[in-house]
Amino acid sequence: MKAVNKNFHTPVLVEEVIRFLNVQDNKKYIDATLGGGGHSFEILRRGGSILGIDVDEEALDFVREKLKTQSSNLKTEGQLRVVKGNFKDVKAIAKENGFENVDGILFDLGVSSHQLDTPRRGFSFGKNGPLDMRMDKNLSVTAKDLVNALRKGELYELFSKLGQEYRARVISESIISARRLEKIETTGQLAEIVKRSLKGITKTHPATRVFQALRIAVNDELNNLREALSSSIGLLGNKGRLVVITFHSLEDGIVKQNFKEFEEKGSGTIIIKKPVEPTPEEVRSNIRSRSAKLRAFEKLM
């Protein structure tokens, strides 16, 4: 099915991405999380050529369509190569497409608004749909499989480690009791089970962390990130920039640690000591940007 949603995704920290990637005419970049192409099109407009990677066919379809309608306005027509793949394989993908020794690599982690807002993708506790959460439809395990098959202790570990959920024990118990009565098939069922098991009012929806944990596990997000970062440093040319936007502390911790190790090994410099966050104006106009943190590293050879 073709993605036709015009509001596929609103890119975050656009000016900052362009500045920290040091985007220039005729330079080569990799956008490892193409999504709706928001950042890639900004790079194209400035004359860069890009390899855009995503695991989600719907994102790739969307960008291919957008290229057809917009490329005539761009002097850089044909300079965005769209490739399906997992960024953990960025080294091989870059090599196959002649994108080694690049000037910058961008990771804008997490899910796109299209993924979150499309009920059948099963990412959102606010929109009822099948409990899926696979960014890549070729993955074999869905969130439904995990929720119905993991033992109580495994659910507890999952929610406490990947969701940083301090009420993981009571939530796991509720899931075990609920699934004795009927299989948990939908996002709505799971959200309701979590909500019922937790008393009291919370600032965010009570199922936020449970959904985060399942999404990270289904897509193996943290291992993919670790692998991708260590490959990326080898793909950058001298003064090439690695820019990463994260949306929760587990991801940010991995990026911070990797950048520190790169610096200790003499691979280059952390350009900004503290991560850059969106301005209050950006958060007001795009609430989903609120937890974004951008870190940047420059390779020196």
Q: Which is nearer to ligand SAM, 108 or 132 (CB)?
A: 108
Residue range at the interface with ligand SAM (CB under 6 A); choices 55-63, 95-103, 265-273, 277-285: 55-63
Helices (H), the chain: 14-21, 38-45, 57-70, 90-96, 113-117, 143-149, 152-162, 168-181, 187-197, 208-219, 221-235, 249-264, 280-285
Pairing assessment for the beta strands 28-31 and 102-108 based on DSSP bridges: parallel
Question: Coil, strand, or helix at residue 130?
Answer: strand
**39 near ligand SAM, rule: CB under 6 A:** yes
Q: Which is nearer to ligand SAM, 172 or 224 (CB)?
A: 224
> Which of 49, 76, 79, 112: binder of ligand SAM (CB under 6 A)?
112
Residue range at the interface with ligand SAM (CB under 6 A); choices 82-90, 118-126, 168-176, 184-192: 82-90
Tokens matching residue 227: 């692998």
Distance, CA of 244 to CA of 62 (rounded, Å): 23
- Smallest gap from residue 173 Cβ to ligand SAM (A): 31
Q: Which is nearer to ligand SAM, 87 or 156 (CB)?
A: 87
- Smallest gap from residue 271 Cβ to ligand SAM (A): 20
Angle at Cα 105 formed by Cα 99 and Cα 107, nearest 5°?
Answer: 130
**Per-residue contact flags (x/-) with ligand SAM for residues 234 to 273, judged by CB under 6 A:** ----------------------------------------
Residue 146: which of 136, 159, 137 has the closest Cα?
159
- Smallest gap from residue 263 Cβ to ligand SAM (A): 24
- Residues of this chain that bind ligand SAM (CB under 6 A): 9, 11, 33, 35-39, 53-56, 59, 86-88, 108, 110-112, 135, 224
